[in-house]
Amino acid sequence: MTLQMTGRLAAEDRTELGDLCPIERASELVARRSTVLLLREASYGTARFDDFVRRTGLTESVTAAQLRTLVTEGLMVKQPYREPAQRQRFEYVLTEAGHDFVPILLALASWGDRHRPRPHRLRMVHAGCGAAVEVEVRCANGHVVGDDDVTVALRSRQRAATD
C-alpha cells in the first residue's frame, strides 16, 4: 500500500508541514518503548501502578514519568478508587483517546505477527468466533481501500478550523 501526494504537496519539503501531519503528532507518543508498553497493558485492563511496573518490566521511575505524561496527554485519567475494606488508592484508566489507541496496537500486532519470523505465541482473536483480528483500511463511505487508493490531500484552512 502506498500514499499518493497531490498537487504541490508532491514537491514540497515536508519539514515545514511538521505539525500539520497527524502521523507526526501521533507518533510523538509512540516514539517511546515505554508508552507503547503501558498503553498495551492499559488495554489489557491493567490499572494499578504496581501492576504496570511488574507487567511491563519497566522501572518504577520510568513508569511513573510516562504514566504522568499519558495523563497530561489525555490518554489516561488518574482516579481514586477503593476496594472493599481497603484504603483509597489510585488507578489509571484509559480515556476515549486512550481506547482509540487500540487499533494502532492491533495494527502493530498484525504486522508483527506477519513479518517477524520468531514465533510469538500471543494472538488477538475475535471473542465471538475465535478468528484472528485484522485491521482493514476503509474509507468513510465503506469502500475497501486497496493498494494504491490512498491520496494525501491538503485540507482548506477554513475546514481545518472547524473540523
Partner DNA sequence: CGCCTGACTTGCGTTTTGCGTAGTCAGGGT
Partner DNA sequence: ACCCTGACTACGCAAAACGCAAGTCAGGCG
Which 71-90 residues touch DNA, going by CB under 7 A? 78, 85-90
Q: Using alpha carbons, select from 21, 27, 24 the residue that is nearest to residue 9.
A: 21
Count of residues in contact with a copy of itself, rule CB under 8 A: 97
Residue 79 binds which entry of DNA, a copy of itself, none, CB below 5-8 Å type-dependent: none
Q: Judge contact between 120 and 113, C-beta under 8 A.
A: yes
Chain-centroid distance, C-alpha 50: 22
| C-alpha cell, 120 | 510469538
What is the footprint of DNA within residues 107-146 (CB under 7 A)?
none
Residue 70 binds which entry of DNA, a copy of itself, none, CB below 5-8 Å type-dependent: none
Q: Using alpha carbons, select from 145, 125, 148 the residue that is nearest to residue 137.
A: 145
Q: Report CA-CA distances (Å) from 81 to 27, 46, 63, 75, 97.
A: 31, 14, 20, 19, 21
59 binds DNA (CB under 7 A): yes
Nearest distance in Å: CB 16, DNA = 14
What is the footprint of DNA within residues 34-53 (CB under 7 A)?
34-35, 48-51
Identify the residue whose cell numbers are 500471543.
Answer: 122
Is the Cβ of residue 53 or residue 109 nearer to DNA in the bound state? 53
155 binds a copy of itself (CB under 8 A): yes
What is the footprint of a copy of itself within residues 15-34 (CB under 8 A)?
15, 17-28, 30-33
Q: Report CA-CA distances (Å) from 99 to 75, 95, 149.
A: 8, 6, 27
Binding site for DNA (CB under 7 A): 31-35, 48-51, 57-62, 64-68, 78, 85-91
